[in-house]
């Protein structure tokens, strides 16, 4: 069981979720809300439909998450009366304030998972995982939105 790829990926995802939830608790955020914030931070204002597509989640989940993030004061919603899926979601001032902290969590996680692994080995592993994801998405979803460019990691000094 320990060598089963599904088991190993599941363990890593569970650990990431626990890591994020523990770090996000002071901000009243969860790993699900984190994913929404990261997309908004990286891609600027998005419609709810665009956000659902980027996250590959059900629009109802996106709606619930946006409602929570709005109540927390981290995002603002510009409503379009004709079609709610076209509401534009952007960071609020409070969201902008925490955006660097949110993005630093990705770096902190990367440092945890890459500890004691040479960067060249890690780069090869990430490229292999990327190919696996592209294969799976293409077979199941008909397309993959993952860029086919190779992963290039920064040198070790810039990760410190």
- pLDDT per residue as tens digits for the range 90-99: 999 999 999 9
Look up the CATH number of domain 5-115.
1.10.10.10
1 pLDDT more than 60: no
Sign of CA dihedral 42, 137, 55, 121: negative
More confident residue, 14 or 8: 14
Question: 83 pLDDT exceeds 80?
Answer: no
The DSSP code for 33 is H
Instruction: List alpha helices for the chain, DSSP H.
Output: 5-24, 31-43, 48-55, 59-72, 93-114, 119-141
**pLDDT at residue number 156:** 60
Domain boundaries, the chain: 5-115, 118-160
Task: Identify the pLDDT of residue 159.
Answer: 55
Of 34 and 87, the structure prediction assigns the larger pLDDT to 34
Mean per-residue pLDDT for 78-88?
73
Residue 81 has pLDDT above 70, yes or no: no
Confidence of residue 65 (pLDDT cuts 50, 70, 90): very high
Given a cut of 90, whether residue 72 has pLDDT beyond it is yes
Per DSSP, what are the bridge partners of residue 77? 89
- Report DSSP letters for 47-63, one per residue: EHHHHHHHHT--HHHHH
Q: Give the model confidence (pLDDT) of 104-154 as tens digits.
A: 998 899 999 999 999 899 999 989 989 988 999 899 988 888 888 888 887
Q: In which band, very low, low, confident or very high, does the pLDDT at 158 lie, cut at 50, 70 and 90?
A: low
């Amino acid at each position: 069981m320990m060598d089963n790829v599904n088991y190993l990926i599941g363990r890593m995802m569970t650990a990431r979720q626990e890591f994020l939830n523990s770090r996000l608790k002071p901000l009243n955020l969860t790993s699900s809300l984190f994913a929404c914030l990261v997309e908004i931070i990286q891609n600027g204002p998005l419609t709810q439909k665009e956000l659902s597509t980027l996250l590959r989640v059900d629009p109802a989940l996106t709606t619930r998450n946006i409602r929570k993030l709005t109540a927390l004061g981290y995002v603002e919603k510009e409503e379009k009366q004709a079609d709610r899926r076209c509401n534009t979601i952007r960071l609020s001032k409070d969201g902008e304030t925490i955006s660097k902290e949110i993005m630093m969590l990705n770096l902190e996680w990367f440092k945890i998972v890459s500890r004691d692994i040479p960067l060249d080995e890690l780069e090869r592993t990430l490229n292999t995982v990327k190919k696996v994801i592209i294969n799976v998405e293409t077979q199941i979803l008909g397309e993959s939105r993952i860029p086919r460019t190779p992963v290039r990691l920064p040198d070790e000094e810039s990760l410190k």
